[in-house]
Amino acid sequence: NSFKSDDVEIESTQRVFQGFFKIDLYRFNHALFAGGRSQTIVREIFERGQAVAVLPYDPRTRQVLLIEQIRIGALATKDNPWLLECIAGMADGSEDYPEVVRKEAKEEAGLELDELEFMLSYLSSPGGTTERLYLYLAQTDLSRVDVGGLYGLDEEGEDIKVHVMAVDEALARLASGEIDNAATVISLQWLALNEQRIQQAWNKE
C-alpha cells in the first residue's frame, strides 16, 4: 500500500449527535491513486470507541460458552432478534483489554477468567465507524458454569442467558446461519482453525 495516514487531510470534524452513541461529521480530502488530491469528502462517522469480545472454551470437553440477548438492530433482517454471541463489551477508553474482558465475563456470565489468548482485532465497519474489536479466547473449566443462568446489569438494560454447547454444535449453528454476528462468527472460525494446536498444547500439560 503506497498511502499512509499523512496522505489524508482532515479539514474539520464536528460533533453532530451526542446520545447513547456519538456521531461526528468529517470533512477531508486524500491523495488519489492517479495523482493529485480528491475533492472535499463529507462523511458522518459513528464514534463508538473500541470493544472487546471473548469466547470461553473448555479444552477438556470441547465446549464453548455463548450468551443470548436481544439485539434490536437485528430485527430489520431476522425473525428472531435474540442472538447467540460471545461475551463482549465496550472498552470505555481503557487500553487494558484483558481486564475489560474479565469484567465483562463476570457481569455477563458470572465467569472468572484466567488464561486469555489474543486471537485478532478487526475494524467492524470502517466506512462508517471508528470501532475496532479485540477478540480473545479463554481456556476455562465450563463444568462450573451456571448454564441457563441469567446475568447482565439492570442499569444497562441487559437481560442475558448463558449457554454452553459443544464446539461442533456451535459450528453447525454457524454453518446454518443462525449465528451471524461478526465477533462470534470470526471467533468460532478462528477456533476452528486453531483448535488442533490448542488441543495438542493442552494434552502435553
Lookup result for grid cell 443462568: 149
Please pick, among 156, 158, 169, 178, the residue that the annotation labels catalytic. Answer: 156
Our answer to whether residue 156 is catalytic in this structure is: yes
Amino acid at 120: L
Cβ contacts of 182 within 8 Å, gap of 6 or more: 122, 124, 133
Give dist(CA 91, CA 94) in Å, integer.
Answer: 5
Give dist(CA 177, CA 14) in Å, integer.
Answer: 39
* Beta carbons of 71 and 81 less than 8 angstroms apart: yes
164 DSSP assignment: E
Instruction: Give Dmax (Cα) for the chain.
Output: 61
Catalogue the active-site residues.
Answer: 156
